[in-house]
């Protein structure tokens, strides 16, 4: 399953979240802000692309430009500082990547605006921590999780929090697993 040159294998598992009312409010704000950033980026990508197509001297839409615009626009919304900035960056990154895949022909479905029926927010490794049956999300706090970790020795890379129809919360935890032992003395803290 894994490449013999690469000692790492990716895996993931889903666990239900059991947030308190206060945590559910913080999660709803985080997921709503991620949806807002994603949707605004899709709209702005289209605007920049149209301008670039009509005037080739205008900048083409890139992750760097759209991230900068998103950071500047976030200052106009007083609730944005209450949300983890990495989550917003990941939403902008997703929107740009999805649009680039569409316009380069690598996917046939044009990205659409997200609705609040299915919200997602991705936390990068530096912005969450897992301890037994709890997960600590940046600017949300410790939340109880159900289920078990099938790979307790894995290194978590990112966690995606989902809410379906406003009723069900879950976290998909993507991890790196060692497929073979690392030689003694090898640097293992810089694998991502």
Instruction: Spell out the alpha helix ranges (H) of the chain.
Output: 21-54, 63-74, 85-103
Which residue's entry shows tokens 């500082």? 81
Instruction: Spell out the alpha helix ranges (H) of 104-184.
Output: none
pLDDT at position 167 is 66
Summarize pLDDT for 18-42 with one digit per residue, the tens: 999 999 999 989 999 999 999 999 9
Average pLDDT over residues 159-183: 73
Confidence of residue 1 (pLDDT cuts 50, 70, 90): very low
Which residue from 121, 120, 122 is spatially nearest to 158, judged by alpha carbons? 122
Domain ranges of the chain: 8-178
% residues pLDDT > 90 (the chain): 37
| Predicted confidence (pLDDT) at residue 190 exceeds the cutoff of 60 | no
Instruction: Give the three-state DSSP class for 192.
Output: coil
Please tell me whether the overall predicted TM-score, pTM, comes out greater than 0.85 for this model. Answer: no
| Predicted confidence (pLDDT) at residue 191 exceeds the cutoff of 50 | no
Looking at per-residue pLDDT, the higher value among 176 and 42 belongs to: 42
Summarize pLDDT for 61-115 with one digit per residue, the tens: 888 988 888 888 888 888 888 999 999 999 999 999 999 899 888 888 889 988 8
For residues 121 and 87, give the distance between their C-alpha atoms in angstroms, rounded to a whole number.
Answer: 6
| Predicted confidence (pLDDT) at residue 120 exceeds the cutoff of 60 | yes
Residue pair 145/15 in contact by the 8 Å Cβ criterion: yes
Structure tokens at 33: 């802000």
């Amino acid at each position: 399953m894994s490449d013999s040159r690469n000692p790492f294998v990716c895996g993931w598992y889903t666990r239900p979240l059991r947030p308190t009312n206060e945590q559910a409010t913080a999660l709803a704000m985080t997921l709503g802000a991620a949806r807002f950033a994603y949707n605004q980026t899709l709209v702005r990508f289209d605007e920049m692309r149209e301008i670039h197509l009509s005037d080739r001297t205008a900048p083409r839409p890139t992750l760097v430009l759209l991230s900068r615009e998103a950071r500047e626009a976030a200052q106009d919304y007083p609730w944005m500082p209450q949300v983890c900035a990495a989550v917003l960056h990941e939403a902008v990154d997703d929107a740009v990547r999805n649009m680039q895949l569409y316009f380069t022909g690598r996917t046939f479905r044009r990205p659409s605006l997200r609705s609040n029926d299915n919200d997602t927010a991705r936390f990068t490794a530096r912005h969450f921590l897992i301890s037994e049956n709890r997960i600590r999300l940046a600017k949300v706090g410790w939340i109880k999780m159900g289920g078990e970790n099938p790979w307790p020795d894995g290194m978590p890379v990112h966690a995606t929090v989902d809410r379906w129809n406003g009723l069900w919360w879950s976290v998909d935890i993507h991890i790196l697993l060692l497929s073979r032992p690392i030689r003694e003395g090898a640097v293992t803290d810089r694998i991502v």
